[in-house]
């Protein structure tokens, strides 16, 4: 069990589903959904399928806080991320009122710069997006993401 | 499951893994290229900001240099002005000192010849038999008396200006009696008995010579400027006032016109063309009161009278 998975155990989160690339957990009492990546790269069709499965849970459980733990990733697939930012988040906000997003990035500075560059490009291409309406914060651990 | 099927599945998995791996590598390459471009843009922006900051810094430095030079000039100018002012003050101090000395010496020097002339005139007057000449001699006595009084006042002013106040316990009551007796002695009809009221202690630590001169001048004005065909009244009111002694001398005389009141303490100020005084009384009182660290105020209404209020420390 990785250290990241150990954090899930420590927080008593229940697994909802998983595949080779992601594992999704919940704490229904807290209306929290955690999506933890398991591989260094996620193909776009798996990424979209996993997030669409999360959409169903968000609608069903009335999820108010979504935690995306990307610590295993080493490749930032721009089309996936653009879809995640522009389509999925927007739909979650307008359809289900999901506003609170907590993200956990790998410790490596170079990867964080890559994320910054990717996000900058998305913001440039979609200036009218709802970024400002969302409560997005980067945290260092699952425990922190659950409370901040 | 047949082996051929297992091999086919295995081959399919391997191809899938290979495809994902290729996608992974491609995604990483694109990510790195994007990040490199982004970092270059950021670096360009940083470089532009650095250049802008450098230019602003240079501009600020130039501004600071210019302001420093201006300030140095201003300081030099102020120093020069201060030196000039100090030099002017020094000159003024010397001139003032010389004027005081001149006033002091000349007033004392005038005093002797005037007294001698006055005495001799009195002697001559008794021996002249020609009534016309005697009348002229008597007429001469009037301006000579005025000159004697003026000389005495100027001498007193010179004395006050030259000397330091010498503070001693002084009882105002006998001092007032002495001054009022002097007025009565000069011309009883002109100096009616004033209404005197003293509340509380009238003993204060002050310079008796200065106080006597203040009261002499203020009372002289109060008795002097009377309205014709009116019973002239003078009130002297003395009372303690917050560790000071408040002396108020008021009369129902001619008063001073409103437009002249701001000049009452000026040297040679006269309230009207009919004024017969030297115009130095209130000026003398003011410098004496200042010397004692007190305050003097005049309130007056034309044709109604005047009130002079003196506040002296030392109670």
Do the beta carbons of residue B236 and residue B195 sit within 8 Å?
yes
The answer to whether residues B172 and B154 belong to one domain is no
What is the bridge-based pairing of β-strands B203-206 and B168-171? antiparallel
Per-residue confidence (pLDDT) for residue B170, from 0 to 100: 95
Tokens of B90: 């020094």
Does the interface ipTM go beyond 0.85? Answer: no
Contact A118 B27 (CB under 8 A): no
CB contact under 8 Å between B38 and A40, yes or no, is no
Residues B142 and B11 in one domain: yes
Among candidates A41, A78, A113 on the partner chain, residue whose Cβ is nearest the Cβ of B39: A113
Q: Please indicate whether, in this complex, the C-beta atoms of A117 and B30 are within 8 angstroms of each other.
A: no
B121 in the same domain as B177: no
- Maximum distance among all Cα pairs of chain A, rounded to whole angstroms: 42
- Measured in angstroms, the CA of A64 and the nearest CA of chain B are apart by 31
Go through chain A and tell me how many residues it has.
Answer: 148
Per-residue pLDDT, averaged over A29-37, amounts to 95
At which of B162, B184, B202 does a domain end? B162
How close B51 gets to chain A, by Cα (Å)?
24
CB contact under 8 A, A41 and B35: no
B105-131 residue pLDDT tens: 888 888 888 888 888 888 887 788 888
Same domain, B210 and B104: no
Query: What are the chain B neighbours of A40 within 8 Å (beta carbons)?
Result: 24
Cα separation, A109 vs A96, whole angstroms = 34
pLDDT at position B101 = 85
* Bridging pattern class, strands B234-241 and B244-251: antiparallel
| β-strand partners of B299 | B307
Residues B144 and B229 in one domain: no
Q: How many interchain CB pairs under 8 A, A with B?
A: 43
Q: For residues B16 and B111, state if they share a domain.
A: yes
State the burial class of residue B277 (Cβ atoms within 10 Å of its Cβ: 0-12, 13-18, 19+).
buried
Residue A27 Cα, gap to closest chain B Cα (Å): 32
Any bridge partners for residue A35, and if so which?
A24, A68
Contact B38 A116 (CB under 8 A): yes
What is the phi/psi pair of residue A103, to 5°?
-125, 145
Report the gap between the CA of B53 and the closest CA in chain A (Å). 25
DSSP letters along B122-166, please? HHHHHH---HHHHHHHHHHHHHHHHHHHHHHHHHHHHHHHHSPP-
Instruction: Show which of B137, B162, B187 is a domain's final residue.
Output: B162
Residue A65 has a pLDDT of: 97
Q: Which of the residues A76, A79, A84 would you substitute to probe the B interface, choosing the one with the greatest number of B C-beta atoms within 10 Å? A: A76
Number of domains forming the structure of chain B: 2
Look up the CATH number of the domain holding residue B216: 3.30.565.10
Choose, out of B16, B19, B22, B24, the residue to mutate when testing the contact with A (most A CBs < 10 Å).
Answer: B24
Q: Residue B301 and residue B225: Cα distance in Å, rounded?
A: 13
Kindly list the distances between the CA atom of residue A84 and the CA atoms of A68, A87, A89, in Å, as whole numbers in the listed order: 11, 6, 6
B→A interface, C-beta within 8 Å: 20, 23-24, 27-28, 30-32, 34-35, 37-39
Chain center to CA of B300 = 23
Please give, rounded to a whole number of angstroms, the shortest distance from the CA of B30 to a CA of chain A. Answer: 8
- Predicted confidence at residue A60, as pLDDT, reads 93
- Asked if B24's CB is within 8 angstroms of A40's CB, the reply is yes
Q: Are residues B211 and B287 in the same domain?
A: yes
Give the pLDDT band (50/70/90) at residue A16. very high
Contact A76 B31 (CB under 8 A): yes
Last residue of a domain, one of B162, B194, B226: B162
State chain A's mean pLDDT as an integer: 93
CA distance readout (Å), B31 to A79, A118, A131, B92? 11, 8, 22, 87
Question: A67 at the B interface (CB within 8 A)?
Answer: no
The domain containing residue B283 runs over which residues? 165-313
Lowest-confidence range among A24-28, A76-80, A101-105, B8-12? B8-12
Contact by Cβ (8 Å): B266, B283 = yes
Q: Does one domain contain both B88 and B107?
A: yes
Domain identity same for B170 and B132:
no
Of B23, B28, B34, Cβ closest to residue A118: B34
CA distance B287 to B292: 9
Tell me if chain B has a CB within 8 Å of the CB of A15: no
- How far apart CA A146 and CA A7 sit, in angstroms, is 11
pLDDT in tens, A39-50: 999 999 999 999
Alpha-carbon span B174 to B234, nearest angstrom: 18
CATH superfamily of A3-147: STAS domain (3.30.750.24)
A132 pLDDT tier (thresholds 50, 70, 90) = confident
Please give the pLDDT value at position B188: 64
Nearest to A24 by CA among A37, A39, A10: A37
DSSP-H helix ranges across A62-101: 78-82, 89-96
Same domain, B17 and B146: yes
**Treating both helix axes as pointing N-terminal to C-terminal, what angle do B131-162 and B281-291 enclose, rounded to 10 degrees?**
20
**What's the pLDDT at B75?**
97
Residues B223 and B300 in one domain: yes
Residue B185: the pLDDT is: 85
- For residues B245 and B102, membership in a common domain is answered with no
Q: Digits of tens for pLDDT over chain B (315 positions)?
A: 555 566 666 778 888 889 999 999 999 999 999 999 999 999 999 999 999 999 999 999 999 999 999 999 999 999 999 999 999 999 999 998 888 888 888 888 888 888 888 888 888 877 888 888 888 888 888 888 888 888 888 889 988 988 899 999 999 999 999 999 988 887 766 677 889 999 988 999 999 999 999 999 999 999 988 888 889 999 999 999 988 999 999 999 999 999 999 999 998 888 777 677 788 999 999 999 999 999 999 999 999 999 999 999 998
pLDDT at position A62: 94
pLDDT of residue A37: 96
- Chain A residues in contact with B31 (beta carbon < 8 A): 75-78, 114, 117-118
């Amino acid at each position: 069990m990785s250290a990241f998975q150990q954090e899930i155990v420590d927080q008593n989160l229940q697994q909802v589903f998983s595949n080779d690339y992601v594992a999704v957990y919940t704490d229904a009492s807290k209306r929290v959904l955690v999506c933890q990546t398991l591989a260094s790269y996620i193909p776009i069709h798996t990424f979209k399928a996993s997030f669409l499965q999360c959409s169903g849970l968000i609608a069903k459980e009335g999820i108010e806080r979504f935690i995306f733990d990307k610590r295993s990733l080493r490749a930032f697939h721009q089309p996936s991320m653009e879809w995640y930012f522009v389509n999925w988040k927007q739909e979650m906000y307008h359809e289900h009122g999901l506003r609170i997003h907590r993200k956990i990035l790998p410790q490596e500075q170079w990867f964080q710069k890559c994320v910054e560059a990717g996000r900058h490009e998305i913001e440039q291409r979609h200036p009218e997006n709802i970024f400002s309406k969302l409560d997005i914060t980067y945290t260092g651990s699952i425990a922190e993401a659950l409370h901040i | 499951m047949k082996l051929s099927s297992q091999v086919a599945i295995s081959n399919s998995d391997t191809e899938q893994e290979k495809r994902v791996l290729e996608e992974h590598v491609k995604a990483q390459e694109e990510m790195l290229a994007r990040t490199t471009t982004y970092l270059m843009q950021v670096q360009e922006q940083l470089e532009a900001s650095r250049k802008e900051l450098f230019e602003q810094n240079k501009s600020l430095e130039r501004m600071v240099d210019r302001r420093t030079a201006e300030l140095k000039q201003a300081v030099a100018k102020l120093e020069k002005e201060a030196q000039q002012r100090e030099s002017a003050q020094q000159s003024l101090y010397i001139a003032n000192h010389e004027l005081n000395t001149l006033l002091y010496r000349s007033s004392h020097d005038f005093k002797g010849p005037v007294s001698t002339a006055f005495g001799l005139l009195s002697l001559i007057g008794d021996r002249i038999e020609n009534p016309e000449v005697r009348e002229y001699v008597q007429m001469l006595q009037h301006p000579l008396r005025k000159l004697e009084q003026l000389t005495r006042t100027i001498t007193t002013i010179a004395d006050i200006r030259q000397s330091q106040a010498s503070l001693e316990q002084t009882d105002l009551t006998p001092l007032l009696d002495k001054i009022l007796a002097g007025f009565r002695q000069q011309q009883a009809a002109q100096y009616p008995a004033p209404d005197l009221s003293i509340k509380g202690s009238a003993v204060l630590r002050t310079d008796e010579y200065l106080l006597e001169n203040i009261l002499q001048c203020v009372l002289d004005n109060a008795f002097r400027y009377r309205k014709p065909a009116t019973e002239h009244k003078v009130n002297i009111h003395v009372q303690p006032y917050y560790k000071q002694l408040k002396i108020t001398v008021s009369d129902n005389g001619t008063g001073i016109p409103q437009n002249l009141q701001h000049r009452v303490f000026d040297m040679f100020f006269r309230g009207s063309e009919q004024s017969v005084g030297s115009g130095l009384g209130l000026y003398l009182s003011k410098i004496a009161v200042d010397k004692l660290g007190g305050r003097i105020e005049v309130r007056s209404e034309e044709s109604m009278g005047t009130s002079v209020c003196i506040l002296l420390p030392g109670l």
